């Protein structure tokens, strides 16, 4: 662009307040949008609600996808502390994102990408880059229309990608959050741009139980809706989260004061498993209500394909046997959402194995200096021990002690990412005689760098989005136990790590009985270790929990639970 062209653009910049935020060849009305907001408090279950409705719509034959919007200024979720935000989920394309995208993938049995995730940081980064390139010449860049327009553009871009019949967009946080104002405004503008029949709103809100009066209280919901109305958005459906089923009189009160039909007030009580929620919504015709509101025809699937959602979860006889206790020994165990994908992956195995899994969360920082008696007291009655991923030195010695307990007492062990690295450290110290073995992450100047930085990480200084991320192929050793578990010679798994096993120590491990049965295609990075002398001692550098699905449990988790069952019932 030359100076003359820039001057012409600048001269025309005041001609109109309208800007075009439609992708090329976008067709209004081709895709319907369902925007999900939350009120009263965060963490109320918007993600599971969005995923459940998406699943129901998919079961009816619609092409559906979901998006998650977060208001924070981080570009992605890669540097967020699990204590503050739960686990960081990793997509196949390497996007580090909110845990709700894991819920979406599990409920829709699909693979999402970076276009399913949006943060304020991502939006502002795009806008500032455009401003520096001169794409807004002559205009003052503002929240409206530029920020809201960019939000709508990314929604439409995702809709066009399918193309999809429906895109469900979950706006994180609550309507009272200042960082979400521009997203709510974009949702308001969306109905003006796309048309009344092409956009609808669902509000998920908490209906608390008052112990003092012994009744459900609708006033917080009423205030939440009033706040939403002030921002120009009238919800079409209100999903009410509560401890128990929503009382009829409370449903009537919410309908009256919030201006929605009574059958558009949906009860969402606490359930034993999130996978029962689609069936509860199905009983209340949530999907049909949304379809009617959007003036769509019902594209029922072929005869015989329609079924109760997640039927195996609703019918399997998990109560016939005593609970199977799995110890989750990690440094973030006080925040259970830090390991949400792992607990889901364990739950996915229950129908196939006919068990009920009791996950015991143990904070390993308390085991760093604990006596053997304390360790035994916490682990004596568990049937399996799992060490999940994590970063930093805190709590790692406690994890190593748990791994040693599992190895010496023949308790099934599954290590994930950091659990792989610490299993290698424990084995090197206890069996291979490398007493000072550690990771350069914990001690940069160690004389025994058993775990060290990946080669491509050596010159990296930025922490965000720079790890080995996303889906990569793993070559399995033919004839190994793990290869038999998968039933294949090559698998595709998701990674999120900076450190690897130092191959200078590989021969010492193999001499002591460890089998490295999974590696990169060029065999340069060890990615799975197995100790065949143990009933089940397997650790992976990748995160198999990210690929587990309700009706397709991950092979490694399935084998781990099977080993735990044998440990529970040795006969």
More confident residue, 20 or 253: 253
The dotted CATH code for 316-568 is 3.40.50.880
Average pLDDT over residues 388-397: 91
Residue from 538, 359, 390 nearest 88 by CA: 390
Share the mean pLDDT of the chain: 90
Q: In CATH, which of 3.40.50.300, 3.50.50.60, 3.40.190.10, 3.40.30.10 is domain 29-293?
A: 3.40.50.300
Share of the chain above pLDDT 90, in %: 77
* pLDDT value, residue 8: 46
User: Where are the chain's structural domains?
Assistant: 29-293, 316-568
Q: Is the pLDDT of residue 456 over 70?
A: no
Q: Is the pLDDT of residue 183 over 90?
A: yes
Average pLDDT over residues 132-161: 92
Helix intervals (H) in 109-179: 120-133, 148-161
User: Measured at the alpha carbon of residue 141, what is the angle toward residues 198 and 154, in degrees to the nearest 5?
Assistant: 35
Residue from 167, 179, 51, 199 nearest 123 by CA: 179
Q: Is the pLDDT of residue 190 over 60?
A: yes
Q: Is the pLDDT of residue 542 over 50?
A: yes
CA distance 287 to 62: 11
pLDDT band for position 4 (cuts 50, 70, 90): very low
Q: Is the pLDDT of residue 463 over 80?
A: no
Q: Is the pLDDT of residue 86 over 50?
A: yes
Q: What is the DSSP string of 92-111?
A: TT--EE-THHHHHHHHHT--
CA distance 456 to 85: 28
User: Measured at the alpha carbon of residue 516, what is the angle toward residues 510 and 522, in degrees to the nearest 5?
Assistant: 120
* pLDDT value, residue 309: 76
Helix intervals (H) in 298-363: 311-315, 340-348, 350-353
- Per-residue pLDDT of 125-143, as tens digits, reads 999 999 999 888 778 899 9
Domains 29-293 and 316-568 share a fold: yes
Taking the CB of residue 336, how many other CB atoms lie within 10 A of it? 14
Own/partner long-range contacts of 84-89 (Cβ < 8 Å, ≥24 apart): 86/335, 86/337, 86/338, 86/340, 87/337, 87/338, 87/339, 87/340, 87/341, 88/496, 89/341, 89/546
- Per-residue pLDDT of 52-75, as tens digits, reads 999 999 999 999 999 999 999 999
Give the DSSP H/E element, type plus range, for residue 455. none
Give the DSSP H/E element, type plus range, for residue 80. none
Helix intervals (H) in 394-546: 396-408, 418-430, 481-486, 506-511
pLDDT band for position 316 (cuts 50, 70, 90): low
* pLDDT value, residue 15: 54
Q: Say how many residues make up the chain.
A: 571
39 by DSSP, 3-state: which? strand
* pLDDT value, residue 203: 97
* pLDDT value, residue 10: 46
Which residues are designated catalytic? 417, 543, 545
pLDDT band for position 550 (cuts 50, 70, 90): very high
- Per-residue pLDDT of 377-387, as tens digits, reads 999 999 999 99
């Amino acid at each position: 662009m030359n100076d003359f062209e820039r001057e012409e653009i600048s001269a025309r910049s005041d001609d109109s307040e309208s800007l075009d935020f439609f992708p090329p060849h976008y067709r209004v009305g081709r895709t319907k949008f369902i925007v999900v907001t939350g009120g009263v408090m965060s963490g109320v279950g918007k993600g599971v609600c969005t995923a459940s409705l998406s699943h129901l719509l998919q079961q009816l034959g619609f092409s559906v996808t979901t998006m998650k919007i977060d208001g924070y200024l981080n570009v992605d979720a890669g540097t967020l502390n699990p204590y503050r935000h739960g686990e960081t989920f990793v997509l196949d394309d390497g996007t580090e994102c909110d845990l709700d995208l894991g819920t979406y993938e599990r409920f829709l049995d699909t693979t999402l990408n970076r276009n399913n995730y949006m943060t304020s940081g991502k939006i502002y980064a795009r806008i500032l880059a455009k401003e520096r390139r001169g794409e807004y010449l002559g205009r003052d860049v503002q929240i409206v229309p530029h920020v809201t327009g960019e939000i709508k553009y990314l929604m439409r871009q995702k809709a066009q990608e399918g193309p999809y019949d429906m895109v469900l967009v979950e706006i994180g946080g609550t309507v009272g959050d200042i960082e979400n104002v521009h997203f709510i405004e974009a949702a308001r503008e969306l109905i003006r741009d796309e048309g009344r029949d092409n956009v609808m709103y669902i509000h998920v809100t908490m209906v608390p139980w008052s112990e003092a009066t012994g009744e459900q209280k609708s006033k917080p919901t009423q205030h939440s809706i009033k706040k939403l109305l002030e921002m120009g958005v009238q919800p079409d459906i209100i999903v009410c989260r509560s401890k128990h089923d929503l009382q009829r009189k409370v449903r009537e009160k919410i309908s009256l004061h919030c201006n929605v039909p009574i059958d558009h007030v949906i009860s969402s009580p606490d359930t034993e498993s999130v996978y029962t929620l689609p069936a509860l919504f199905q009983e209340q015709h949530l999907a049909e209500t949304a379809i009617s509101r959007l003036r769509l025809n019902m594209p029922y699937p072929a005869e015989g394909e329609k079924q109760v959602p997640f039927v195996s979860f609703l019918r399997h006889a998990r109560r016939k046997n005593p609970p199977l206790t799995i110890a989750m020994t990690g440094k973030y165990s006080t925040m259970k959402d830090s390991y949400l994908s792992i607990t889901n992956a364990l739950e996915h195995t229950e129908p196939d194995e006919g068990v009920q899994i009791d996950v015991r969360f143990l904070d390993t920082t308390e085991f760093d200096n604990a006596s053997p008696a304390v360790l035994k007291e916490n682990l004596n009655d568990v049937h399996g021990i799992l060490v999940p991923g994590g970063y930093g030195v805190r709590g790692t010695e406690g994890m190593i002690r748990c791994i040693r307990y599992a190895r010496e007492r023949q308790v099934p062990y599954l290590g994930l990412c950091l659990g792989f690295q610490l299993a290698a450290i424990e084995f090197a110290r206890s069996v291979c005689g490398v007493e000072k073995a550690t990771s350069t992450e914990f001690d940069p100047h160690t004389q025994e760098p058993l775990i060290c930085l990946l080669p491509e990480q050596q010159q990296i200084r930025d922490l965000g989005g720079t790890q080995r991320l996303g889906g990569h192929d793993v070559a399995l050793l033919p004839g190994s136990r793990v290869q038999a578990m998968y039933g294949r010679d090559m698998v595709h798994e998701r990674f999120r790590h900076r450190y690897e096993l130092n191959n200078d120590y590989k021969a010492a491990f193999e001499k002591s009985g460890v089998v490295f049965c999974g590696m990169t295609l060029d065999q340069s990075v060890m990615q799975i270790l197995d100790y065949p002398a143990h009933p089940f001692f397997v650790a992976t550098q990748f995160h198999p929990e990210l690929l587990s699905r309700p009706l397709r449990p991950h092979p490694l988790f399935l084998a781990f639970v099977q080993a735990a069952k044998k440990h529970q019932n040795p006969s």
